[in-house]
Structure 1
Amino acid sequence: MRSSRALFRHEQGASALEMALILPLLLVLLFGIIDMGRYYWAEHSVAHAANEAARMAILEGVTSDEINEVIAFHLRDWDNTPPALQIVENPGGSGSPASVTVTVSIPFSFLVIPTFVTGIFEPITIRHSVTMHLER
């Protein structure tokens, strides 16, 4: 019969081994959650910037430079390449009001996930379009 001290000494390395096996999985899970949080934050930021740019675009006398400033202000936390902006005015006609469509897009790259799972998470473009009726 072994004493409790002998059993403890025998199992001393087991917890270190378990930690060595589980810690990489926990870290991948943690950083994957952080990456997905960054993605949803970027998606929300692009949608908000497009909404604000569309609100600005429907006003009379607003230039595309002013709209670019609004987008740059709302996406100032992104140190990626500058956001792409597309403004399309729809003249309307035959009963439908004139409108403007603003599309904002930014490139997005995952930080941690691609290093562990290659080929699945390639850089993507986050794009959001907003259409509003003109106030002119």
Structure 2
Amino acid sequence: MTLMINKLRKSENGQALVELALVLPILLLLVFGMIEFGRVFGTQLVILHGAREGARAAAVGASDTEVVAIVQNRTSPLTLDASKLTVEVTPSDVSRQRGDGVAIQVQYPVKIYAPFISAIMNDSYTVSGRVMMRME
């Protein structure tokens, strides 16, 4: 009887390896997905912060070049490359009137590093933020 139990126990040696081979790709996809989501979400927060600061400056009378410089200054110390940042100010500083809205649109491409995620999506994901404030 014990010989039969030992034979059955010996024949299950590769079971854990097969289970690991089946579960590991799904686990890695989840882990890398969470990491990439955190990176993209963090960049989204930085972009919105920069757009908010730029909209506030534009609302109190700053020119378009000053608004772009403010957005770049608020986002670049927080690990964003200012050369890849796209800032649009609508309307331009010459046509703004008191009481009208001024909108700041900021876009930034985030490179996806995870091999599984970049195969599903493109190599980069563009994060954008738009903030509108009324001119004072």
- TM-score for the superposition, normalised by structure 1: 0.74
Corresponding pairs, count:
128
Identity %: 26
Structure 1 gaps, min length 5: none
Q: Using the TM superposition, give the Cα deviation of residue 36 of structure 1 relative to its aligned residue in structure 2, in angstroms.
A: 2.0
Taking the aligned partners of 1:127 and 1:70, their CA distance within structure 2 comes to 13
Structure 2 gaps, min length 5: none
Q: Using the TM superposition, give the Cα deviation of residue 17 of structure 1 relative to its aligned residue in structure 2, in angstroms.
A: 1.9
Change (3 A) 1:27 1:74: same
Q: Which residue of 2 aligns with 1:97?
A: 99
Give the root-mean-square deviation of aligned CA atoms. 2.7
Q: Using the TM superposition, give the Cα deviation of residue 105 of structure 1 relative to its aligned residue in structure 2, in angstroms.
A: 0.8
DSSP 3-state at the match of 1:12: coil
Q: Which residue of 1 aligns with 2:48?
A: 47
Q: Which residue of 2 aligns with 1:72?
A: 73
Change (3 A) 1:6 1:79: farther
Taking the aligned partners of 2:39 and 2:62, their CA distance within structure 1 comes to 36
Change (3 A) 1:61 1:85: closer
Change (3 A) 1:14 1:79: farther
Residues 27-59 of structure 1: per-residue CA shift (max 9 Å, x gap): 112111221222222222212211111112222
DSSP 3-state at the match of 2:84: coil
1:106-117 to 2 correspondences below 5 Å: 106-112=108-114, 113-115=117-119, 117=120
Change (3 A) 1:41 1:110: same
- TM-score for the superposition, normalised by structure 2: 0.74
2:55·2:103 contact (CA, 8 Å) conserved in 1?
A: yes
Residues 50-80 of structure 1: per-residue CA shift (max 9 Å, x gap): 1111112222356624642443333432248
Range 58-67 or range 10-19, more displaced: 58-67
Q: Using the TM superposition, give the Cα deviation of residue 14 of structure 1 relative to its aligned residue in structure 2, in angstroms.
A: 1.1
Change (3 A) 1:42 1:4: same
